[in-house]
């Protein structure tokens, strides 16, 4: 299986992205297409300490330009048709790659994915999903920022698409919850109330409304919300994880006894840090397009890139898009895309 990696996107540079690609091919039967400046990527690849056998599973595909992080996404993909992110999705469209992964300009990645590949049949709007750690296992939240304004049908379809994606985590009959300000069915604005009715009528395993405090308890597998709310949840969870680790470190350093206690508990602390590290989940899939696209954090480490590539490969193996298309077709008579 070949996956295209935008090797010029991200804040940490091509070297980190190539390191992530090498980790991916070391652990999985993959080939990676590194998309970007051929000369730059060749020099980084040749300077790697990885074995020649691993390096040979990475192929460079030249792209003339790069969409910078501060560029307007829509304007950039119109002007830079030969940019690394556009070329990566071209490779998916042509069938030369099973998926495209980028840690570059997230708006441009979204726009390129939709523009190059188009929407799956019956999908009103593609959206971004992401897995989050909970007390009992991952929860998938959708949308986390692609659609800040939504209609009820969009939230219903997010539930369908996120349920299909949750297959990656071996969840049987995923429990779907609608994020709002109270558990009662009448809580929320007009959008939430109408979306509740659609979800309740659907074949999804809809368990009703969930509040913010419920998201990380592990009693719901899929959480549906618009991109405005979802992005706030994403950024709060990232900030809380960092703040929690810092508070723990500050407390540990207060006394010699605390430091000694930390030495004994260090394996548990390291495991906790791993559980809350976004790098363990790689990136956010753009669901609802005719192909696979993964949007990664701009500061993605090699580990995050490796896991994003692994996520893309697993989505292809499980045929997540086929599941989405079939499930939306089954529910199309009940819920119009509008």
| 166 and 313 belong to one structural domain | no
Predicted confidence (pLDDT) per residue in 188-229, tens digit: 899 999 999 999 999 999 999 999 999 999 999 999 999 999
CATH number at residue 157: 3.40.718.10
For the stretch 110-167, pLDDT in tens is 999 999 999 999 999 999 999 999 999 899 999 999 999 999 999 999 999 999 999 8
Let me know whether 101 and 10 are in one domain: yes
Residue of 244 and 90 predicted with greater confidence: 90
Q: Residue 127, Cα to own-chain centre: how many angstroms?
A: 10
197 and 102 in one domain?
no
Phi and psi at residue 294, to the nearest 5°: -120, 125
Query: Number of folded domains in the chain?
Result: 2
Do 44 and 186 fall into the same domain?
Answer: no
Residue 270 lies in a domain: yes
Classify residue 327: in a domain, yes or no: no
Residue 152 lies in a domain: yes
Whole-number pLDDT of residue 332: 53
Tell me whether residue 316 is in a domain.
yes
- Report the C-alpha gap between 234 and 108 in whole angstroms: 19
Mean pLDDT of all residues in 22-46 = 95
Same domain for 175 and 309: no
Confidence of residue 333 (pLDDT cuts 50, 70, 90): very low
- Quick one: 71 and 172 in the same domain? no
Residue 116 included in any domain = yes
Question: Is 254 in the same domain as 301?
Answer: no
Burial class (CB in 10 A: 0-12, 13-18, 19+), 180: buried
Q: Which domain holds residue 256?
A: 126-281
Q: Is there a single domain that holds both residue 119 and residue 242?
A: no
Do 149 and 107 reside in the same domain of the chain?
A: no
């Amino acid at each position: 299986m070949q996956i295209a990696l935008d090797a010029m996107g991200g804040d940490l540079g091509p070297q980190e992205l190539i390191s992530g690609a090498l980790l991916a091919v070391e652990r999985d039967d993959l080939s990676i297409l590194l998309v970007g400046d051929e000369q730059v990527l060749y020099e980084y690849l040749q300077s790697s300490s990885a074995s020649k056998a691993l390096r040979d599973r990475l192929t460079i595909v030249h792209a003339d330009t790069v969409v910078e992080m501060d560029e307007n996404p829509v304007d950039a993909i119109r002007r830079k048709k030969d940019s690394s992110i556009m070329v990566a999705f071209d490779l998916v469209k042509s069938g030369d790659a099973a998926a495209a992964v980028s840690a570059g300009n997230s708006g441009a990645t979204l726009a390129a994915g939709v523009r190059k590949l188009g929407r799956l049949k019956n999908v009103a709007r593609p959206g971004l999903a992401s897995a989050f750690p909970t007390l009992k296992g991952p929860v998938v939240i959708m949308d986390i920022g692609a659609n800040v304004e939504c209609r009820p049908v969009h939230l219903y379809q997010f539930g369908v698409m996120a349920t299909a994606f949750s297959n990656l985590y071996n969840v049987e009959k995923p429990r779907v919850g609608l994020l709002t300000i109270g558990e009662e069915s009448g809580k929320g604005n007009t959008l939430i109330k109408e979306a509740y009715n659609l979800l309740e009528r659907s074949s999804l395993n809809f368990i009703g409304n969930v509040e913010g405090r419920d998201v990380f308890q592990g009693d719901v597998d899929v959480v549906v919300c618009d991109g405005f709310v979802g992005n706030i949840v994403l950024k709060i969870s990232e900030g809380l994880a960092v703040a929690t680790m810092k508070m723990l470190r500050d407390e540990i350093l207060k006394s010699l006894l605390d430091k000694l206690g930390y030495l004994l508990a260090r394996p548990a602390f390291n495991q906790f840090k791993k559980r809350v590290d976004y790098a363990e989940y790689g990136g956010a899939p753009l669901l609802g397009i005719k192909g696979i696209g993964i949007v990664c954090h701009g500061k993605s480490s090699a580990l995050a890139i490796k896991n994003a590539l692994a996520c893309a490969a697993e989505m292809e193996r499980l045929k997540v898009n086929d599941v989405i298309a079939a499930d939306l077709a089954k529910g199309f008579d009940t819920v119009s895309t509008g």
